[in-house]
Structure 1
Amino acid sequence: MIDRLDDPRVPALPTHSHAVRVGNLVFIAGQVGIPLGEDHAPAGFADEVGVALDALDAVLETVGATRGTVLRTNCYLANIDQMPEFNAVYLARFGDLRPARTTTQARLAHGLRFEIDAVALCEPEHHQAPAKPAAA
């Protein structure tokens, strides 16, 4: 069974789900640094990365996962020269958890400077089949 999930704490887009869960694997769509209710990212790059990581945390929580169950991240920087600043924020969040990661430079939409997607394991209680409704 495939579950498509959205988190109300993260800006929604009509083109895709925040996450798709298959069994105990969760594929999290790219999260960006635009705060809910805003139309642009914060001025500072580190703040933009922080907002994107907050959005990732919100989606992880919704699907029953945590940073500790993230298997892989893909990180996209508009300017690869900002890698040291990005790494400082990333390591402050992930620390010794260190999931597999690919980081690349990319031209991002709307002038964004950072985007992250992830694959994680969700906790068993969050991927059980929903209970069947009682017979009428």
Structure 2
Amino acid sequence: MQKNIINTTQAPAPIGPYSQAVQAGNLLFISGQVPLNPATGTIEATDVAGETEQVMKNLNAVLTEAGYDFSHVVKTTIFLSDMSHFTAVNEVYGKYFSGNYPARETVAVKGLPRNVNVEISMIAAK
């Protein structure tokens, strides 16, 4: 099976030895995105809702680069700095799926890159 590396300047560059996404067959595996503004490389959000909005914009940029959209997403993983952010993240996240929700898990972790509050990874399929 051929593997294609997906990269776009419309999402933050990886901050480690990984790709933004890898397409294998009809599956697209998107690495966890944090709320970095790709134009500035900084975190501009002032609350977890703003962080989540930037994360979803970054994920959309990677999906678009690969020729996918949110309707193709079958699985997500949400990492939170604290489960108290669960409701705020859900409010923003849910707007991107129009009721066609993928499978998902949400976990609280001890820390995230750049001390952000939310990171989301995705798997999409055509």
TM score, norm. by length of structure 1: 0.85
Aligned runs of 1:8-27 on 2, under 5 Å?
A: 8-13=9-14, 14-27=16-29
The separation in 2 between residues aligned to 1:25 and 1:80, in whole angstroms, is 30
Letter in 1 for 2:61: A
Q: Percent identity among equivalent residues?
A: 29
* Amino acid corresponding to residue 12 of structure 1 in structure 2: A
- Structure 1 residue 38: Cα displacement: 3.2
Size of the aligned set, in residue pairs, is 122
Q: Which runs of 4+ in 1 moved over 4 A?
A: none
Q: Which residue of 2 aligns with 1:44?
A: 47
Tell me the amino acid that sits aligned with residue 16 of structure 1.
Answer: Y
Q: Secondary structure at the match of 1:47?
A: helix
Gapped runs of 5+ residues in structure 2? none
State the Cα deviation string for residues 11-52 of structure 1 (Å, max 9, x = none).
112511111011110100001111111322411110100000
- Larger C-alpha radius of gyration, 1 or 2? 1
Pairwise CA RMSD:
1.1
TM-score, normalization by structure 2: 0.91
Which residue does 1:82 correspond to in 2? 85
- Name the residue aligned to 2:7: 6
1 CA distance for matches of 2:117 and 2:48? 7
Letter in 2 for 1:3: N
Q: In the alignment, what sits opposite 2:58?
A: 55
